Amino acid sequence: MAKWVDEGENDVLNIYLKNATQNTTLYLGIYKNSEEPGEDAGLTSLTEPSGNGYSRIALSPSDWSISGGEATQPQKTFTASGGDWGNCYGYFIATTSDNTGKLLAVEHFSDGPYNVVNGGSIKITPKITCS
């Protein structure tokens, strides 16, 4: 399950306690950093695959299933097309499809990295908890 980072925690607090504008769509991405991102990580500290069919996937608000302090999205698939992505170590949830937004949460693959070659895929079921 993805862990919240500082930017994500602060974003949620601003939305609910200060009536800030809520994000209409969140985005799922994968990262190539071999070290697990820390609590103070931001989008610019992550290295994503470049080209070869990679782009962040929009997470529709209506697709979230929430129960027992856990929010889950249906499984999403990233597929390399036109070249390799190399080793991918985890996924993240962000407020934008580019690096202008905020990093909300990250999860380092416990059984990774996954070496994604041309035509290969990574399937992710995004989950995030409040504890």
**pLDDT given at position 128:** 94
Host H or E run for residue 103: strand 103-108
Question: At residue 131, does pLDDT exceed 80?
Answer: no
Closest CA to 61 of 15, 117, 121: 15
Chain segment 37-88, per-residue pLDDT in tens: 999 999 999 999 999 999 999 999 999 999 999 999 999 999 999 999 999 9
pLDDT band of residue 23 (cuts 50, 70, 90) is confident
Kindly list the distances between the CA atom of residue 30 and the CA atoms of 11, 79, 107, 111, 131, in Å, as whole numbers in the listed order: 21, 11, 9, 15, 24
